[in-house]
Structure 1
């Protein structure tokens, strides 16, 4: 679950992934005007920034492998500096010493050089960006280990990366507050971002979350769905048998109706955590989050019970490697639609946050 854009760069990575060459073309430079009308209020600018931060997490590891991390040839810094952020700390996997994430923080000193005396409204104070699978000899073993962990268990809680990311987020939230912190990830990194965000949401801490090409298929999820269907079929059989043998008793459907009413009430009353999903329907790793019945349409309406903001590529790459890549999310050539329909798969993943199990 990696990326052709960042997960498996060509041999000439030092040329291919320079920000001025492959980064966003029409990115506006921050200035004093952002104090009046912040670019961060624009969802498109926010998406571009978050995808660039995740790209920086990929490049931090590439810089480490190529021994360019602290030199002038380092690629990663150019992907956060244009947004006036700095690297607070990299997240390191204790199993192989690889960098799997980056904690970035608003750089007020750099902002002053462009006459930005205060942090623009809506700009997060800190962002945790988590990369996906990096198909290189030094990282592929541990990355694929976590890929298989997710596929087999639909959970990444046993990974040292989950523990590390969760600890970093908790300390950052304690410092800045949850409303000033974001988490973003691509592919496997999106799976980590989703699960650490969910863990925090269970404790009542709701964090802004951006998920680029999150994996949608797992063996555990499929088995769980089959088990749930079998359980419902068994309950219907027992209910019908009970009602036929005891016609004088109450309606067998009453408990089921009461359960549905209770579930709907919980969904409306409980504060909902709403992550942002970015999906390309031509990417078979993440496509099952999207509604396959048709093209999503643009909407600005707020619907009760919505569990995710699902952004679907309407015009973008249609070959798998490019469709799963990170580069499309900062590209000016891509067109996005915000889906009116909610993602049923995302609801299943987040169900424990809204309804009693």
Structure 2
């Protein structure tokens, strides 16, 4: 049975009758709706809703997109992503289409339904263990983006995702950025694998914990880099974090969502460390997680896995309106008309 939130007519942004593509709120809302379209595509498949009974199409046709093709998981045959093509009306002038995409590739998050939940949870665990890049779903996603970019160029493509799908978009965006393709990306409630220190109310305690963590992480990073330098010629060693710094994905987080809220502290702590003259320490610490370094130091791997959730640069948008966890983690919040947002740009130096 369809829920109210699956219906665009009942819960979609009907107020967005005209999209200004250079307006950040409009761009955010459209990207979020295209992600919601992927969720409903999979729900349509599970509920066998076809033709006029399907609920997914309005989530993209309202904004003049067409579904080019769904992305299907090879393990459980669930739809986890979609490639959309923008088909604006001929009446629209080129001036109104400034900064609009030609294609959007969107990924959904975990669906707690019997037909897909086991595979989604398996991928959630892969993400936590820093192994999402080893899964077949990520290979399908990356290949789809590579093919699209090869056809139309990176400036004509958007990436979008929510929760687990945000992690998938982040992995794909990082992979493309390493090849010099910087894709505009909209990451809603991206998961951050760390203790939710943002829940600590005492700022001094919170800063003390972060500072101690940075010092330990920086020390381990120096040790691991020295180990790597012995294993490969100096002229072949390229810092992957610095190479990614030109890519600035848009992150959308809510402080009440412990899954993504740590991004707030991650970027703010970096700025605080710079202000107090400890930027050198933080530049080392910010690109590694303590957990991955310890696994690399004491595990069987000679080199720790690259932490997917850590990124050098970002445009961070925070929904500051108070809410419970379910609402704070939901995709629906990002197209509400009365949002209270705080936006900050962080560029890695």
TM-score range, shorter chain: 0.7 to 0.9
1:151 corresponds to which of 115, 128, 132: 128
Aligned mates of 1:42, 1:141 — CA distance in 2:
38
Instruction: Tell me how far apart the structure 1 counterparts of residues 101 and 218 of structure 2 sit (CA, whole Å).
Output: 42
Counterpart position of 1:311: 317
- Whether 2:33 is the aligned partner of 1:43: answer no
CA contact (8 A) 2:101 2:157 kept: yes
Q: Work out the CA distance in 1 between the residues paired with 2:138 and 2:215.
A: 27
- Given the alignment of the two structures, is residue 202 of structure 1 paired with residue 178 of structure 2, yes or no? yes
- What's the TM-score, normalizing by structure 1? 0.71
2:150 alignment partner in structure 1 = 174
Alignment match, 1:12: 2
Q: What's the RMSD between the two structures over aligned residues?
A: 3.3
> Are 1:285 and 2:259 an aligned pair?
yes
What is the Cα deviation at residue 147 of structure 1?
Answer: 0.1
Return the offset for 1:335: 1.2
Aligned with residue 95 of structure 1, among 75, 85, 90: 75
| 2:13 paired residue among 24, 49, 53 | 24
User: Could you say what secondary structure the match of 1:41 adopts?
Assistant: coil
Name the structure 1 match of 2:286: none
CA 1:21–1:146 in structure 2 vs 1: closer, same or farther (change >3 Å)? same
Detail structure 1 runs of 4+ shifted over 4 Å in the superposition.
224-227, 232-235
Shift of 1:160: 1.4
Contact 1:150–1:218 (Cα < 8 Å) also in 2: no
Q: Structure 1 residues 273 and 107, CA, compared in 2 at 3 Å: closer, same or farther?
A: same
Retained in 1: the 8 A contact 2:314–2:346? no
Deviation at 1:339, TM superposition (A): 2.1
Contact between 2:251 and 2:316, CA under 8 Å: does it hold in 1?
yes
Cα deviation for residue 231 of structure 1 reads 2.5
In 2, Cα distance between equivalents of 1:232 and 1:156: 22
Does the 8 A contact of 2:101 with 2:158 survive in 1?
A: yes
Please give the alpha-carbon distance, in whole angstroms, between the structure 1 residues aligned to 2:14 and 2:51: 25
Contact 2:267 2:346 in 1 (8 A): no
1:70-85 to structure 2, matched below 5 A, reads 70-85=50-65
Q: Over alpha carbons, which structure has the higher Rg?
A: 1
Match of 2:118 in 1: 141
Deviation digits for residues 28-70 of structure 1 (CA, Å, limit 9, x no counterpart): 236xxxxxxxx101011000000000000000000001111x3
1:142–1:293 Cα change, 3 Å: closer
What is the DSSP-based 3-state SS (H/G/I as helix, E as strand, rest coil) of the residue aligned with 1:50?
Answer: helix
Contact map agreement 1:25 1:332 (CA 8 A) in 2: no
Change in Cα spacing, 1:232 to 1:82, as seen in structure 2 (3 Å) is closer
- Identify which of structures 1 and 2 has the higher relative contact order when contacts are C-alpha pairs closer than 8 Å and 6+ apart: 1
Residue 325 of structure 1 pairs with residue 330 of structure 2: yes
For 2:188 and 2:55, how far apart are their aligned partners in 1? Answer: 21
**What TM-score comes out, normalization by structure 2 length?**
0.72
- In structure 1, the residue corresponding to 2:62 is in which secondary structure? helix
Compared CA separation, residues 52 and 282, structure 1 to 2 (3 A): same
- Aligned ranges for residues 195-344 of structure 1 at < 5 Å? 195-217=171-193, 228-229=217-218, 231=220, 272-291=246-265, 307-315=313-321, 317-339=322-344
SS in 2 for 1:189: helix
Alpha-carbon displacement from aligned partner over 1:304-350 (angstroms, at most 9, x marks no partner): x97100001122x52111100000001113211112566xxxx7xxx
